[in-house]
Structure 1
Amino acid sequence: MQISLMCLCIGGDPKGIQVAVVNNETSSSSFSQSLLSFLDNSSVQQVNLSHADAFAGAYNGEYWGVIGFGKNFTSYLTKRMIQRQVSKEVVDGGSVHVWLDLTNQQIAMMLQKKLADAFEDFVQYKMGNMSYLASFPVKFEEPIYGSLNSDFTTFVTPGAVLSITFYLAVGLTALSFVIERKEGLMDRCWVAGVSSLETVLAHLISQLFVISIQVILLLLLMLLVFKIPNEGNLVLVIALIVLQGVTGISFGLVISSSIDDEQNANQAALGIFYPNLIVSGIIWPVECIPYPLRYISLALPQTYASEALRCIMYRGWGLSRMMVWRGFAVTLGWNTFFLILATVILKLRT
């Protein structure tokens, strides 16, 4: 359910965004009408208004932006395309004027992209083979990795998959020793001669079966239902996700072995979730994080793992690449550390 909600709700284009249009051209064959016809109607709903009503509605929060055309837009734009030198008045009159509500950056960026796409389609329609003369001076070629049409869902999916696996595993084991200690089962184990290491490994192995089922369901939904691209080795993808699950189990055992109260154990498990989600590069690139916090983020188990999973899935890289094997090495290191720590704490408290 979590991976379904993530793929359905995150990264898609907003729908039904109302935008006020102030078009001072009256002819049905004007360039402004033609340009507006290329706007994506599923995302942008155009509302034709006067100048005063459009801005009044925008200030009242009814519209996410205002698109304005001058009364001589068609003639001025034609001059801009065919004349070598024009005045500033012609440039201004032959331009589409856009005022956006930038309080929601994602919607504003979508509107900018839709307008740019509409202009490219408009130029292609009007000029045909000569459209390159009026195209944007910056041309994005075929990407080295990924797709020109990739969205935020593609970026966030690898990190979200690891996060879901990690915290579901933490939830499985965070209360294991707490409940057993409260019911007296731990005392029976110590009397029977069971060591702390054997107890930790028993919980790890038993919960690993549950994690394996979760990983299988997660991958089926991610790859087959939501069609998230995977250019790399599926075995490496599965191995890294399972290792993150083991890390979550180990971390849950640390919490469970060091805390006696169920409420405190739940608070410890939940309290680490949100900071880790923010600074581990799952929902935002690590390179955008300020340096004092970036050093903390690089110490987290999911930071290198999410980068490694992106490299495997979207670049097709293998263990020969440092970014990939580093993700496995850091994850294994955290696994070992958490297991040793849980064993030591459990041994000291027996």
Structure 2
Amino acid sequence: MNLRRILAVTKRVFRDIKNDKRTIGLMLIAPIFAMFVFGLAFSGNVEDIHVIVVNHDQGFQTPNGENISFSDKILSNLNNETLDIEYMDDEDKAIRKIEDGNVYAVIIFPENFTRNAYLGVEKFSPSFMRNSTVDSLPQAQIMIKDDESITTIKNSIIGAVQEAITETMKDEGIKFPVKVTQDAIYAKDADFIDSFVPGIMAFVVFLLATLLTLLAFVGERISGTLDRLMATPLQESEIVLGYALAFGTIGMIQAAFLLTVAVLVFNIMILGNVLLAFFVVALLAVVSQALGILLSSLAKREGQVIQFIPFIILPAFLLSGVFWPIEAIPRWLRPFSYMVPPTYAVDACRAIMLKGWGVSKIWPNIIALVIFAIFFLMVAVWSLKKGKD
């Protein structure tokens, strides 16, 4: 082994990199971009969870004539950064907002909440207890009707309510028994894996379809196969749509494998039409392959393809709601989530599989994916024509 020859090889590699300004730029930008996105995504807490409060509590007059309302005190201690609170009087109307996907939860205080809480206070007048026993006292209860399809959000809502109760007890200097109960409107008894699988299914298809198309097109450009295809009577649109059909089919096959493993191994929850979920994933695959064709026009060789991976993986990984909700992303960064196609596929697949929704409720996500697909396909066709010219 000759050190001089080793150093000669090293020198040649650096010389090639020096002559490729695009590679140098990507080498410097990619790690900064990765650190920037990861730092922002992990720096935020779950915030702005839209919930509705329905307060039926009428307060209570204590034996000494004082009017109190524990529900108002608890509501004043709710974290307004975690919860985006809307107040309503109509409980049924509030629940319909959950069913329509407009809010995550309805927090309900029953009519005698303060009275029942006061009766359960550890230190109150013995005369008030003369005809009662502790066991016979009614219990104060807060009911939370919620959408449990995203476990992180469900836990954040419960945590915010429990924290407000604890803070109220601390402020009042007393303890009163309050039971917080949940009634799931969607995804009852769902585990983290149930909300995770729809997201990872969309993410994997997006990643593989984009990278496979990118590698295939760059490989065909280098080998001259693409030039030979362009020399045939095939139109640019026919080439792009042919790839779209192929990778749409591959996306459905990948989704089928992932879903089969999820059902057989992890026993995940599926409430809706699986074929509709496959269609959404196939539509995402079409979007992804068109994106891959676009990116291929920026890569001169296969080695440069690898440098695009951070710009493909990280936004989809961190901004699309695959692993944690969009509400956990800093407010100013959230609009960028809706510029990432997997965001719509993840939301749609989760709604289909955990809520049992059909086309009538997920159509906005489908329309968004169709718009992405049309736009990327048109620009992909244009990029091929430009390359031909």
Alignment of 1:141 with 2:141, yes or no, is: no
Cα distance in 1 for residues equivalent to 2:177 and 2:195:
27
Cα gap change, 1:142 to 1:84, in 2 (>3 Å): same
Matched with 2:239 is 199
In structure 1, what is the Cα distance between the partners aligned to 2:258 and 2:199?
Answer: 13
Q: Following superposition of structure 1 onto structure 2, how do residues 200-239 of structure 1 map, counting pairs within 5 Å? A: 200-239=240-279
The answer to whether 1:310 aligns with 2:350 is yes
CA deviation after TM superposition for structure 1 residue 136, in Å: 5.3
In structure 1, distance between residues paired with 2:241 and 2:122: 78
Match in the other structure for 2:367? 329
Report the AA paired with residue 380 of structure 2: A
Paired with 2:302 and 2:122, the residues of 1 have a C-alpha distance of: 77
Counterpart secondary structure, 1:162: helix
- The answer (yes or no) to whether the contact 1:174–1:266 under 8 Å persists in 2 is no
* Aligned-partner Cα distance in 1 for 2:182–2:227: 66
Check conservation: 1:304, 1:330, Cα contact below 8 A.
yes
Contact 1:232 1:318 in 2 (8 A): yes
CA contact 1:257–1:342 (8 Å) conserved in 2: no
Could you tell me which residue of structure 2 aligns to residue 174 of structure 1? Answer: 214
Query: Is the CA contact (8 Å cut-off) linking 1:252 and 1:269 kept in structure 2?
Result: no
Deviation at 1:83, TM superposition (A): 7.0
Deviation of 1:274 after TM superposition, in Å, equals 1.3
Structure 1 residues 135 and 223: alpha-carbon distance in aligned structure 2, compared to 1, 3 A threshold: farther
Give the secondary-structure state (helix, strand or coil) at the position aligned to 1:139: strand
Gaps of 5+ in 2: 1-119, 126-151, 163-174
Q: Quick one: structure 1 residues 225 and 200, their matched pair in 2 at CA, closer, same or farther if it must change by over 3 Å?
A: same
> Contact 1:165–1:211 at 8 Å: present in 2 too?
yes
Corresponding position of 1:275: 315
**Distance in 2 of aligned mates of 1:207 and 1:305:** 16
**Secondary structure of the structure 2 residue equivalent to 1:228:** coil
Report SS of the residue matched to 2:179: coil
Matched AA of 1:168: L
- Contact in 2 for aligned 1:233/1:316 (Cα 8 Å): yes
8 A Cα contact 2:190 2:269, kept in partner: no
SS at match of 1:338: helix
For residues 184 and 221 of structure 2, what CA distance do their matches in structure 1 show?
56
**Shift of the alpha carbon at 1:220?**
1.0
Amino acid at match of 1:140: T
Aligned pairs for 1:57-72 within 5 A: none
What is the identity percentage for the equivalent residue pairs of Structure 1 and Structure 2? 32
2:186 partner SS: coil
Number of the residue aligned with 2:32: none
Match of 1:342 among 380, 383, 389: 380
Contact 2:206/2:285 (<8 A) preserved: yes
TM-score by length of 1: 0.58
Residue correspondence of structure 1 range 1-350 to structure 2 within 5 A = 137-147=178-188, 149-321=189-361, 324-350=362-388
Deviation for aligned residue 1:348: 0.4
Whole-Å Cα distance in 2 between the matches of residues 190 and 235 of structure 1? 36
Q: Which amino acid aligns with 1:139?
A: V
Deviations 1:181-207 (A, max 9, x none): 211112222322322212212222333
Relative to structure 1, is the Cα distance of residues 266 and 289 closer, same or farther in structure 2, using a 3 angstrom cutoff?
same
Q: Using a 3 Å threshold, how does the CA distance of structure 1 residues 146 and 224 change in structure 2: closer, same or farther? A: same
Three-state SS of the structure 2 residue aligned to 1:230 is: coil
Cα distance in 1, alignment partners of residues 222 and 121 from structure 2: 84
Unaligned runs of 5+ in 1: 1-80, 87-105, 117-133
- Normalization by structure 2: what TM-score? 0.53
